[in-house]
Chain A
Amino acid sequence: MKKIYMIAVSVLLSIAAAVTALPAGAGASPADNGTFTVGFDAEFPPYGYKDDSGEYVGFDLDLAQEVCNRRGWVLAKQPIDWNSKDMELKTGSIDCIWNGFTINGRENDYTWSIPYVDNSQVVVVKAGSDIDELEDLKGKVVAVQADSSALAALTSEDAEEDDLALAASFADLQQVGDYNSAFLNLDSGAVDAICLDIGVASYEIESRKGFVMLDESISTEQYGIGFLKGNTELRDQVQETLLEMAADGTFMETAEKWGLSSSVCLDKDTVIQDDTSDPSKEEEPLWEKLLYIVKSLSEGLLSSLAIFFLTLLISMPLGLVVAAGRMSKSKLLSAIVSIYISVVRGTPLMLQLLVVFFGPYYLFGVRTTSAYRFIAVIIGFSLNYAAYFAEIYRSGIQAVPRGQYEAAEILGYSAPQRFFRIIFPQMVKNTLPSITNEVITLVKDTSLAFAVSYTEMFTIAKQVAAAEATIIPLFTAGVFYYIFNALVALAMNKIEHRMSYFR
């Protein structure tokens, strides 16, 4: 068995290495096919987002369109998962990242255009809250977007002393997947403040009601267009046209249209400076990187394990109760339970988690706390798995021959004795293969907790993958899940073997 794991692990790792080693510089010029593919996070207004009519629009996309018009290229707007941006760029599926993309802290990771937006990181709180200045954030729960400039400003190695101290004063710094989720969290009270870019903050405050921005800001940062490292040819082409646009006023017109005139930093007099990147910076050795990845994932694994074991602990007995309700002689009870089972099985678990987490606030006005996040995950998972276990139990119970009930009846067993002494052991044996399936699915499903921004192993894998600009963490997470499941399968096999003493 051990040998198989070793082989599986080495195969996965070599695939990972092969993928990351793909040749750089593919898709050097859009001129090849005349298409300029811009990668952007479609949930990042006003730089790039989906508007009410379903079109991808935004300041950056307008700029990209104008560049294409002037260069005679066709613009392809490619919304991407922000965590996967580097893989998209490396594999050549996009030509650049143009999406309020912060240069600071990433100077050496991309070939950058000159900065065209200067942005500050600010703090947004609920209107009427007791937070008026940065100092008031002490002991509060603050949200930032995963791998965002705000996160970097507060926690990265290059962060200012003041900002690090500020972050340390928070009760918790929550990473959320997107700003919509961040504002839902803020609105419901699960977090007390959000740190984000000023441009996004202004836009969000205007489109949502009841939020204000603090006067103090955390940091200042610059946006540029990020190209694959080494792709100066395309960078120069785009940059030349962008400067042209700045010179003839088109750039500022576009900025005004999007309400960004106060943060843009290109004007008629902008000239190209030297490349700011420092190509001499050494790469970390692979094993060190792997060690870091494994360490980070191990921390997340604890959260995944917590979800896994608590869910089993609650949903397995709960499933028995649900199964009893389903088989109840009361038509009403049976109908209610049937509806519950069909809703749980008929809708995505991710949606159920969102409903459990945000439901109390939006349905009943109950303020959500951050501690509720984990509880919501466990409630959501348990309710979901209980429904599946209930159906498995039901089939297992119905598979016990009628004669077993009658023999127990004749011998005078009471109903509970009959169930727990005679039927239950046979049911367990009948259902073990299906239960194994369900338990293995649960191992993988734990990753869905990211829907409510609960940081478990896969969320961390995505974050590390984004920060390290490599796909290895995702593969490593795959190996972790595989090993986890191999152990589960082994344990279930043991149990099945134990139950084989009778037929």
Chain B
Amino acid sequence: MTFSAADLFLVLPELLVVTAACIVFVLDPVLRASDKDGLVWLSLGTLAVCMGLTASQIQAPATIFSGLVVIDAYGAFWKLLLYFVTGLTILLSHSYLKEEQLYFGEYYGFVLLALSGMMVMVSSADLLTLYLGTELMSLSLYVMAGLKRSEPRSLEASAKYFVLGAFSSGILLYGISLLYGATGSTRLPEIAAAISGRNLDDPLLLFATILLTVGFGFKLAVVPFHMWTPDVYQGAPTSVTAFMAVASKAASFGAFLRVFIEGLGGLKANWSAMFLLLCLATLILGNVLALVQTNVKRMLAYSSIAHAGYALIGVVATGHMENSSGIASVLLYLTLYAFMTFGAFAIVAMLRKGGIEGVDIEDFTGLAKRHPVAALLMLIFMVSLAGIPPTAGFIGKLYVFMSAVEAGLPWLAAVALIFAVISAYYYLRLVMVMYMREPSDLSSTSPRMVMSPALSIVLACAVAGVVIFGIYPNPLVNFAMHAVSALK
């Protein structure tokens, strides 16, 4: 196995992110508390440089490190989304951690390490590279979930996430080893060549596919592998929850799609039936369980499960058709989902009730009177999550349903849309308490919003994405199509 300096240049974004993470870890103990804002700037600066580098790689696909890593438009699409979300996470965390008195410099280091893992995931052309990326991401997230050391829920979240995450990684690895047994390789192109003409009658291949599905199912948080999600999302610090709900889901989808299209694409008629079941279960359970939640973070956790179900519609549709518009719709959906979900979590993170975080739906009571702008933004995010036009959520749904209808599955679109109506109930319940209930008389317990310039930037980016892509999604659509065309 050889590699050249040119290969190193192509993974420069990954190297930069890891380096930045290391610098953060080293500098954190030596810096005075007042200087630690510098770490934020360092992280953001790194992201900006990486963004430029990755953007320049879109037009120049390359396979490097003897076929372990691939640099292409598909990977670049996810990486750009991940940089963006990571940047927002860092800005959100800056204020949030201060408010929660959790000011750890290493936090930013872990965010960057998780990012580097995600970047490896979406650009790996080999299952073992992918596994390494997954672990790097997961281990960083386990630590981040338990960051609120004084809070038992946070520790529980971390422990639960760790145990179930390790379990699912084991299953993933088992699937990889079976697939190696069935095909003799861990490289996606070689796997694709080995399975062409075969189907799932081969028991080894069948089990490998199932185990890979289960392993990815945990990472994507689709039903029935979603059990960890509500507890972890609720217990983890809100900025970490937002990062997990958006970035980790996006990276997992990115890796998952590459494996199942580039590697197991020959079996897509077989696996799409499996995903159809997962998709229906996810849509139904995610939306129905979200109905009964009283905690906003849990509600958003179930909502994020349900949204994975909508994205899976695009995956199911791909199994039924020749072109790749189904996959493009998944990319588009997850990008638009990122804006609205991150925005919603950012508002939750900002809402304080008394000294602590207000996370009950009731805590939003009368928010529209006290903070009309925050309430309006939350309204927009909720409407978008419910998929009502003219917001990004509608465009995302339009594209996945379009691919479902194109694949000859209009009934699936109809079922999904009926559950979208159910979802409107719980999203708009939040709108109802914000706008239509009076704040309680005791002003000491009424909610207040933390505001800072960084938070304003986060919210402005999120709402701009929701509104602009809701009205003019063209650039994003074209980029998603271009990215998908890079998948072999």
Does B associate with A? no
Interface residues of A, Cβ cutoff 8 Å to B: none
Interface residues of B, Cβ cutoff 8 Å to A: none
